[in-house]
Homo-oligomer: A and B are copies of this chain.
Amino acid sequence: MRRNANTKAKVQADSEALALPELMFEELDGLLGYRLRRAQGAMHRDFMDTIADLELTQKQTACLWLINANPGVAQVSVAGALGMDRATMMAVTDRLEGRGLVIRKRSTVDRRRQELYLTPAGLTLLRKIKTRVAEHERRFKTLFKQGELEALLAALQKFQDRN
């Protein structure tokens, strides 16, 4: 208890110290890459708070989502769709399988293919996630007028289409 109180006091002191000298951000603040990273960081922190008690990463969540929308999807396709390399995708699938949320099945058509399916427990969890994500999305989408939001979504798409 005492330790907690100390930590709180320390955080308070730090943010006061921070308020004092205004940092010069120089060109940094005008950089698109920097703004994008900070925006993503802000939304990511809110997302993690939103699903903290479910003990899932953003990647695991996206996998559950894609597998549910594409039952029997190849592991390699999910990896590609989410921009993950083979090793990362393997680790994510291992974790989801270990928790009984996903099952892997070797394809009967092409034995090199691993097909992915949600278990009933996976589907139940995904439904819970979707409700939370909807609230999380609303918190950020309401920062923008409808036209602004559409322009932003289109602009973000251009970063991906460039590849």
Residues of A bordering B, CB below 8 Å? 14-15, 17-18, 21, 23-28, 30-44, 47, 58, 62, 65-66, 68-70, 73-74, 76-78, 80-81, 83, 86, 113, 130, 133, 136-137, 140-141, 143-144, 148-149, 151-153, 155-160, 162-163
Contacts and interface: CB of A to CB of B under 8 A. Distances in A.
20 contacts: A14-B86, A17-B74, A18-B81, A25-B66, A25-B69, A31-B137, A32-B153, A33-B43, A33-B140, A36-B36, A36-B40, A36-B43, A37-B44, A41-B83, A42-B163, A43-B159, A140-B159, A140-B162, A148-B155, A152-B155
A115 to B, nearest CB: 11
A33 B65 CA distance: 14
Most buried by B among A14, A17, A39, A58: A39
